[in-house]
């Protein structure tokens, strides 16, 4: 992706890994903007996700793919490396320290993903 170029991809709430086909380059600056609604069971959310609503969620928070981020928030990863997970949400700027393919998912506990549905669109723009 060249400076100033943008690409929009769809991220599905149920998929563990959504391949974007976009390679991010270490040291380059990117802007992410997402829109849309997805669901975690009966909980409706934007890409910013939602905070812990019940005791069940509270007990399982530590098992989120990215602990500390909201349930069902949009998360990015470079080449599926946990050390490279980052919160995208509805808006994010990132200058990665490593290069790799951007993969995305809704933040959830691995065994609770089955009841997710819907999708969000993410627009990725290279700024520098």
* Blockwise average pLDDT, block size 10, the chain, 128 residues: 96 96 97 97 95 84 93 94 93 96 95 94 97
Residue with tokens 């069902």: 72
| Cα dist from 5 to 93, 122, 126, whole Å | 15, 14, 6
Query: Residues with Cβ < 8 Å from 62, sequence gap 6 or more?
Result: none
pLDDT at residue 58, rounded to an integer: 83
Task: Please give the domain boundaries of the chain with CATH numbers for all domains.
Answer: 6-126 (2.60.120.430)
What is the model's pLDDT at position 3? 95
- Indicate left, alpha or beta for 83 from its phi (over 0: left) and psi (-120 to 50: alpha): alpha
pLDDT of residue 57: 82
The predicted structure's pLDDT at residue 10: 98
pTM: 0.94
């Amino acid at each position: 992706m060249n400076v100033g170029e943008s690409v929009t991809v769809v991220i599905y709430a149920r998929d563990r890994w959504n391949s974007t086909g976009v390679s991010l380059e270490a040291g380059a600056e990117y802007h992410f903007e997402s829109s849309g609604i997805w669901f975690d069971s009966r909980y409706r959310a934007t890409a910013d996700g939602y905070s812990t609503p019940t005791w069940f969620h509270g007990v399982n928070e530590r098992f989120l793919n990215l602990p500390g981020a909201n349930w069902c928030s949009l998360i990015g990863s470079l080449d599926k490396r946990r050390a490279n997970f980052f919160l995208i949400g509805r808006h994010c700027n990132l200058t990665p320290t490593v290069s790799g393919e951007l993969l995305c998912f809704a933040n959830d506990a691995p065994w609770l993903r089955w009841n997710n549905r819907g999708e969000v669109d993410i627009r990725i723009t290279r700024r520098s």
